[in-house]
Amino acid sequence: MKSIKIFDTTLRDGTQMEGFSLDMMDKITVAKTLDDLGVHYIEGGWPASNPNDEAFFEAMKDIKLKNAKLCSFGATYHKKFKDPSECPSLQKTIECGAKAACIFGKTWKLHIRDFLDITPEENYEIIKNSVRFLAENGLEVIFDAEHFFNGFLDDEEFALNCLQSAIDGGASNLTLCDTNGGMLPTQIEKIVTKVVNTFPDVSIGIHAHNDGDLAVANSIMAVRAGASLVQGTINGVGERCGNANLCSIIANLELKTDFETIGKENLKKLKKASITTGLRGNYPIPKNLPFVGKSSFTHKGGIHVSAVNKNPISYECVNPSSVGNERRITISDLSGRSNLITYAKNKGYDLDKFDNDFWKNVLFALKKAEENGIAFEEAQASFDLFFKQFLPNPKKAFKLKNFFVHTSKTEADKHTPVEATVVGSIDGKEFHTAGYGHGPVSALDTALRKGLEKDFPQISKIKLTDFKVRIVSMNAGTSAKTRVVIEHSDGKQIWNTTGVSENIIDASMTALVDGFLWYL
């Protein structure tokens, strides 16, 4: 079994993605997560480019990694320097404390002609001398051949000579970069095969961008062609369309080929690494992200659910637990009886108590509810309450009878004050309470809590953590139905509820009440 080294560039390449950012403490947390995952290299950043990266490397001097080797990033020296020792960027690469360095150099004639204004021979010398300077100072040097595939197609001899220059300087690895992300898998296979055969004694790597939505496929094809190191980012974050998604590359190589990367035990930590990286970078993970996304093993269609219940491999390419994920069955207007039975079974209901008419009634009501704009698949807690109403003698902790909202604003008011009144009952005993807030939902929340807190003091733990609004019937203008989804948390668990109405306050109140009812 051939081992493939995983080179993570999330802390550097990933932060070039619009909307994704990591401060120094975030980078340390992600670095520890990547180390625990079992990657072989962690590219921490470019210490010469910004204070944040410089501070990160300084802090990492006191942190011992158990699996990964910390690597700095940099570039070959500029032609204005007579010697690499005069280059401040290369000096900081040596001083930052990392044991390895990844430096990029130009391998496409277009760049040396139009941007650097140097001859091919001068470019060869710059590459060789930059690599040698770092290697002689005790660093393992990985040479990133920037725009290599474009350069190879433009002038094969020049591109290969650039690689030879890096070897002459002492590079331990030559990583071929599809920097503008435009290559096809067939092109990657052909060119990587040529490079591997030309330089059989040197490790070859692949660094793919995703502009053609082929970064994962291109990376796997490079491995099949002989590459032994793969660069990429967790969740595929990166500039423009992103970098090669290591989550998909690692999972595919580990579970579907004879190549080994981080090992199957570490593979179970993949989703955790994905979540930590997304949260630290303040970048929501797409639900449909393969292997690690929330929806990657989620089944909605009734026929699919029925099949998965009989044999999961019918609709799952790998076992969810192998990558640290889990199977989910959602409830929607596409649900069949299999979805509902699976739901009830997972909730611990005695299925023997439910006859055919029961399932028909629930399914009919479910489809009517979704027809009216309800979307239970994004509000599981509301579906729990919906299902319970079909059980014998359903009970509710409290009942909402009525509510009122009043708002007014004068020219002198900095905020729009809102007053809400809620009328409800607990075990037949009525409560009538009022509350104030900066908005109608805030005011309703305050009033409702006042009515419930004496009988249910535990509601003090409930916090509203997210609030989403969507127009359901878009052609109806301002009279359109509005769907509200509220996320609640008690610090230990998170649950979502929903409400739909032409009146956004009514929809919000339904979701708010459901949130309290579900918790109680």
| Gap between the Cα atoms of 444 and 421, Å rounded | 7
Q: Which residues pair with 101 in a beta bridge?
A: 72, 141
Q: Which domains does the chain have, with CATH numbers?
A: 5-280 (3.20.20.70), 298-371 (no CATH), 391-397+461-520 (3.30.160.340), 398-455 (3.30.160.270)
**Residue type at position 367:** K
pLDDT(61) > 60:
yes
Q: How far is CA 273 from its chain centroid?
A: 9
CA–centroid distance for 119 within its chain: 43
Over residues 180-207, the mean pLDDT reads: 98
Residue 334 has pLDDT above 80, yes or no: no
Helix axes 380-388, 504-519, angle to 10 degrees: 70
Separation CA 83–CA 87 (nearest Å) = 7
pLDDT at position 290 is 93
For residue 115, pLDDT beyond 70: yes
Q: Which residues contact 248 (CB under 8 A, 6 or more apart)?
A: 216, 236, 290, 291
DSSP 69: E
User: How does residue 141 score in pLDDT terms, banded at 50, 70 and 90?
Assistant: very high
DSSP-derived letter for residue 233 is B
User: What pLDDT, on a 0 to 100 scale, did the predictor assign at position 39?
Assistant: 98
Place of tokens 């100072």: 137
pLDDT of residue 478: 62
Beta pairing, strands 399-407 & 418-426: antiparallel
Sign of CA dihedral 280, 281, 282, 284: negative
Q: Is the pLDDT of residue 510 over 80?
A: yes
User: What is the 3 state secondary structure string of 426-490?
Assistant: ECCEEEEEEEEECCHHHHHHHHHHHHHCCCCHHHHHCEEEEEEEEECCHHHHHHCCEEEEEEEEC
Best mean pLDDT range from 83-87, 170-174, 426-430, 488-492: 170-174
Considering the chain, what is the average pLDDT of its residues? 90
pLDDT of residue 165: 98
Quick one: pLDDT band at residue 236, thresholds 50, 70, 90? very high
Closest CA to 448 of 520, 392, 378, 500: 520
So what's the pLDDT on residue 372?
Answer: 81
Look at residue 329 in the predicted model and tell me its pLDDT.
65
Which two three-digit tokens encode residue 267?
């593979």
The pLDDT tens digits for 413-470 are: 667 779 999 999 999 899 999 999 888 999 999 999 999 999 999 999 999 888 888 8
Confidence of residue 378 (pLDDT cuts 50, 70, 90): confident
pLDDT at 203 over 90: yes
Per-residue confidence band for 127, with pLDDT thresholds at 50, 70 and 90: very high
Does pLDDT of 355 surpass 90?
no
pTM of the model: 0.74
Q: How confident is the model at residue 271 (pLDDT cuts 50, 70, 90)?
A: very high
- Strand boundaries in 22-172, DSSP class E: 41-45, 69-75, 100-106, 140-146
Spatial contact of 297 and 320, defined as CB atoms under 8 Å apart? yes
pLDDT at 466: 87
Classify residue 397 by burial, with Cβ atoms within 10 Å: 0-12, 13-18, 19+.
Answer: middle
Query: Going by C-beta distance under 8 Å and a sequence separation of 6 or more, which residues neighbour residue 439?
Result: 416, 418
Say whether pLDDT at 301 is over 80: no
Using alpha carbons, select from 137, 17, 161 the residue that is nearest to residue 87.
137
DSSP 183: -
Q: How confident is the model at residue 499 (pLDDT cuts 50, 70, 90)?
A: very high
pLDDT (mean) for 130-152: 97
CA 272, CA 103: separation in Å to the nearest integer? 30
340 Cα distance to chain centroid:
30
- Distance CA(66)–CA(57), nearest Å, equals 17
472, pLDDT greater than 80:
no
CA distance 352 to 129: 77
pLDDT mean over 105-119: 92
The pLDDT value given to residue 310: 74
Q: Is the pLDDT of residue 514 over 90?
A: yes
Q: Which residue has the tokens 């509710």?
A: 396
Q: Give the list of residues 6+ apart from residue 210 with CB closer than 8 angstroms, or none.
A: 181, 216, 236, 238, 240, 241, 242, 243, 244, 245
State mean pLDDT over 172-199.
98
The whole-angstrom separation of Cα 462 and Cα 496 is: 12
Contact 31, 60 (CB under 8 A): yes
d(CA 71, CA 16): 18
pLDDT of amino acid 49: 82
Q: Is the pLDDT of residue 194 over 90?
A: yes
Q: What mean pLDDT do residues 234-245 have?
A: 96
pLDDT bucket at 306, cuts 50 / 70 / 90: low
Structure tokens at 423: 């009328």
